[in-house]
Amino acid sequence: MIRNALPSTTPCNDTVFVPLEISALTIQKNKHLVFMLKSLESGIGYLATHFPKDFGRVGIDYLFTGTPLEISEIYEDLPWLETEWKDENGIFTFKEAPSYQEMEKFISSL
């Protein structure tokens, strides 16, 4: 059972989960994180980030879609520091961009 995680519906209509603490970094500390997600139903990989929504909530923006290998290669090219978050659900890996503008600029160049 997955705990302390927010669900999100992927473009392939599967549900994936992101740790609450990762979402909190976006909301409370204005962090700009990029991470990989994979649909267990379709096997499709995604490069994703949070975006602010109304009333202090966040949503997930799916930046790129591809095979898990393709997404992993894009993720590895991101020039930012990688961090691992560990909790009862396992390990969640992400990279933090120095600013939203820097993240947007780099992602649009891919």
The full set of domain ranges for the chain reads: 5-108
The pLDDT, as a whole number, for residue 46 is 97
How deeply is 110 buried, as exposed, middle or buried, from its count of CB atoms within 10 A (0-12, 13-18, 19+)? exposed
| pTM score of the predicted model | 0.86
What whole-number distance in Å separates Cα of residue 15 and Cα of residue 29? 26
Token pair of 30 as six digits: 């204005």
What whole-number distance in Å separates Cα of residue 47 and Cα of residue 80? 14
pLDDT by 10s per residue, the chain, length 110? 677 888 889 999 999 988 888 878 877 778 889 999 999 999 999 999 987 666 555 678 899 999 999 999 999 999 999 999 898 888 999 999 998 899 889 888 88
